[in-house]
Amino acid sequence: MFSFLEIRQNLGYFSLWTALLPSSLPTHVPQPVLDACPGYHATNISWDSGRLTAELLLAGQGCNIFGEDRRSLALTVVYETNERIHMKISDSYADRYEVPESVLPRPDASAPVSPDSAAIRFNFTTSPFSFSIVRPSTDEVLFSTASFPLIFEPQYLRLKTILPDKPNIYGFGEHTNPFRLPPDNLTLTLWSRDSYGIPPGTNLYGNHPVYFEHRTTGTHGVFFLNSNGMDIKLSNADGPTTLEYNAIGGVLDFYFLAGSETDPSAVARQYAEVVGLPAEVPFWSFGLHQCRFAYKDFADVADVISKYAAANIPLETMWTDIDYMDRRRIFTVDPEYFPLNRMREIVDFLHSHDQRFVLMTDPAVPFAPGDLDYAPYHRGKDLNVYLKAANGSDFIGLVWPGATVYPDWFNPNTTEYWNNEFKIFYDPETGIDIDGAWIDMNEPSNFCNLPCHDPFQQAIEQNLPPPKSHPAPDPNAPIFQNISTTVLESRDVISEAVFAVQPAADIPPEVLRRPDDILSPPYAINNAAGPLSAKTALSNAVHANGLSEYDTHNLYGTMMSSATRKAMLARRPGKRPLIITRSTFAGAGAHVGKWLGDNLSTWEQYRFSIAGMLNFATVFQVPMVGSDICGFGGDTTEILCARWAMLGAFYPFMRNHNNDASISQEFYIWDLVADAARNAINIRYRLLDYFYTAFHQAHLDGTPVLHPLWFKYPKDTDTFAIDLQFFFGDSILVSPVTEENSTSVDIYLPNDIFYDFISLAPVEGTGSTVTIDNVDFTTIPLHIKGGAVLPLRVESAATTTALRKKDLEFIVAPGRDNNASGKLYMDDGESIKPDEITSVGMTFKEGRLDVTGVFGFATGVSVARVKFLNIRNPPQIVNVNGAIVGTRAYTYDAVNKVLDVRIGAAFDGNLTIEFS
């Protein structure tokens, strides 16, 4: 430990040392040194209604730890709504990078509210400057920088707050950690990287600098709007628990969200007001998706489709990874292995059977100046849309096709370019008529090892693009067979001389001469790949608007997502696209869904997938999310794949996908897995209208589609750490078996009434852990939370199109107060603005169910039955729409206490069922 005097005395020596040795700056400065910096004091303070401004002046000799402390800062605080405070600290005299509004539009702040009416308050001390966020209704301090000086240097920003003991912190992704973050000296690094195996404790593909903190007295949120690389540190060593932000650029731009004292989901809705509401997805996208990186040719793809049908496992969408491309080049098909006419035949077959097709599209465009036949490169070159190197030439990296260039999403011509390539290659009449888009490698990934002076030589050394290892099929082979004949022609090697003569772009000279060290900044974040530029675009690469990758790197995937959504909408105006991406930033859910990357076929990652899914669906406002079922890397096992098929049926995005070095794992490979998949999909499909309704609500106001247990039981401290159970939608409690080879699972049942999903029998929770035994490998424990009215289809179907023709039934699961409610939203399943909708509410009280609402969309189905649960005695009278029905119209199960009333009425108007 250092005394305060010793720290002060050493600061001068430390500053001198760092000035003399700029290339050797330490990145792990002792916390006492940082905490002893002088900070700032506030002056020129001005209040104007709900807006505060002030100047922050350096309060002494600067620490100058990672650069010179800025002498004067500008503070702005705005009470944007009663639940949201926006605070920004920037340099008073120098422009600094901020996340562009074109990437993340800011919420309206034109009409600040009075602090007197706000649910949270901004309090501050002038000298040394510190601030706190307080909930006045409880006098709780939610965020406080007291005792921790603000540090603001050109390439290092530090802000630190104290937290409660053993805090309940959720968020800060993307990472592989428990859902409730451990506060024991945890560093979370935000810097997009290609992270095979999604190793725990490292930075992964996406960047979401937001967290929710939950207490028994309420839930609040904090969003740090900054896209620069950063380390976020949770620590409880040598004192109170703290949260520390360490960013290598930008400004301190924070949104503080009041949340709620009673409803944790309120903070999610408030966050959606800042980053945008989730995009709606088509109904078919909730079906089962199948993919593999290793389908060797068109016949192989067709064979998988036919085997799913033969196994009677509903396959909604077939996907194809980069295998289909000619020499791994985007917007091409391999003429021998995946010829266009055969691929169109597969797509036509799928569409004629009400199934769908999705292809991979990477951002990297092959660098092919000498290949005039590869038009996508030349069209991009003609529009000058590629990311630039620091010298103004096109930046060249190395990805699957070899040397590549990268679209610059800030370039105003890139939308035209991307839209046109999608229009040409995915043309329904002449190209491949995809139903959704899959975008990958968009961190952006770069295989070129630093210092990467010669990507062309590294392409040869890494054998990129990789040659085919098997013969090509007969181009006229019957569609579900594979007859091998020829091999793929290898690519030509482009010389480095071509690389050297790229023309410079019109980039301002002052940008190229940026004084900061943006290749090796003085503070090195804990990037698992090493230097900032390792395995990605160089951090000094420059965009058309002069911004560098140093600042915008973490935005690349989301900007590609937005551009791809525009391209898909241009192909099919008015139709909701399904787009699944790998790299994300805050706000990505307004454009796309997300899969959790290249996971492994392990029980540990099976378990971690739940926390990852909850982060995106519950905190980050990216609800269309799921992991590769059965795992991407490594060999799965029969039992793991069976369990994962069942868990995966309760991911919003359900896809089986693995890599070329693993064994096949399609659900039909093992009889056990096939049974598990059929059982789980049967339940999922029957619940799809219920889940579709949840997604529609999320699109309207940001209410999450998945809920951790503490969302429903915010006072129950035993729920706060649970991340192996979750609520699918509002009311289906999912409790998967999570241990290898086990046929039992310990689950937590809060103090509430639940119902077994299969038997519908009531189950009283007592706020304790219970053991469920005899859970065979083809079932998953599910419970209905009391107080729900669930809309289900009476049975499953082979496709979602066929499913929508099945009749409905309602399950009334009363709470302990004997009341229940629910919602059902239906439309055509694909239009962004449907012409007609059906939206109803279901309310049960005192033995009466009312289904009322708007019935504009013609569903074409009937309500087959209504099942009332926990009915203690058989009824004497049952009344349907005012008419008494005979005893043949209903049955009563005395064992499970279920009253089953057969209705058979068209679902086109209000419905009332009453019994006594």
**Catalytic annotation, pick one of 440, 723, 752, 807:** 440
Count Cβ atoms below 10 Å from residue 140 Cβ, excluding itself: 16
Residue 339: cis peptide before it, omega within 30 degrees of 0: no
Burial class (CB in 10 A: 0-12, 13-18, 19+), 545: middle
Which distant-in-sequence residues (6+ apart) come within 8 Å of 337 by Cβ? 296, 297, 298, 323, 324, 468, 472, 473, 488
Residue 209: cis peptide before it, omega within 30 degrees of 0: no
Q: Hey, what are 26's tokens?
A: 């330490």
**Catalytic annotation, pick one of 598, 689, 730, 807:** 598
Known catalytic residue at 69: no
CA distance 857 to 860: 9
**Catalytic annotation, pick one of 80, 443, 730, 809:** 443
- Provide the β-strand partners of residue 394: 388
* Residue 171 near residue 615, CB atoms below 8 Å: yes
What angle is formed at CA 678 by the lines to CA 675 and CA 681, rounded to 5 degrees? 145
- Provide the β-strand partners of residue 171: 211
Sheet of 862-869, strands arranged across: 883-884, 878-880, 911-915, 848-855, 838-845, 820-826, 788-793, 808-813, 862-869, 898-906, 890-893
* Residue 727 near residue 757, CB atoms below 8 Å: no
Orientation angle between helical segments 375-382 and 414-425, nearest 10 degrees: 160
Read off the DSSP letter of residue 280.
Answer: P
Sheet of 140-144, strands arranged across: 121-125, 130-135, 140-144
* Residue 810 near residue 863, CB atoms below 8 Å: yes
Alpha-carbon Rg for the chain in angstroms: 29
Which distant-in-sequence residues (6+ apart) come within 8 Å of 214 by Cβ? 168, 170, 264, 710, 714, 720
Burial class (CB in 10 A: 0-12, 13-18, 19+), 833: exposed
CA distance 682 to 697: 24
CA dihedral 265, 269, 270, 274 (to 10 degrees): 140
* Residue 403 near residue 552, CB atoms below 8 Å: no
Question: Which residue in this structure is represented by tokens 């709900």?
Answer: 50
Going through 313-412 in order, the beta strands assigned E by DSSP cover 317-320, 356-361, 365-366, 397-399, 402-405
Which distant-in-sequence residues (6+ apart) come within 8 Å of 433 by Cβ? 344, 347, 351, 357, 426, 427
CA distance 266 to 258: 9
The dihedrals phi and psi of 125, each to the nearest 5 degrees, come to: -110, 135
CA distance 303 to 481: 7
Known catalytic residue at 373: no
Distances (CA, A) of 329 to 48, 404, 557, 844: 57, 10, 19, 57
Which distant-in-sequence residues (6+ apart) come within 8 Å of 709 by Cβ? 716, 719, 722, 725, 726, 727, 733, 748, 750
* Residue 594 near residue 616, CB atoms below 8 Å: yes
Q: Hey, what are 798's tokens?
A: 């082979």
The dihedrals phi and psi of 95, each to the nearest 5 degrees, come to: -70, 135
* 582: nearest Cα among 592, 571, 574, 590: 592
Known catalytic residue at 598: yes
Read off the DSSP letter of residue 831.
Answer: B
User: Which positions are annotated as active-site residues?
Assistant: 440, 443, 598
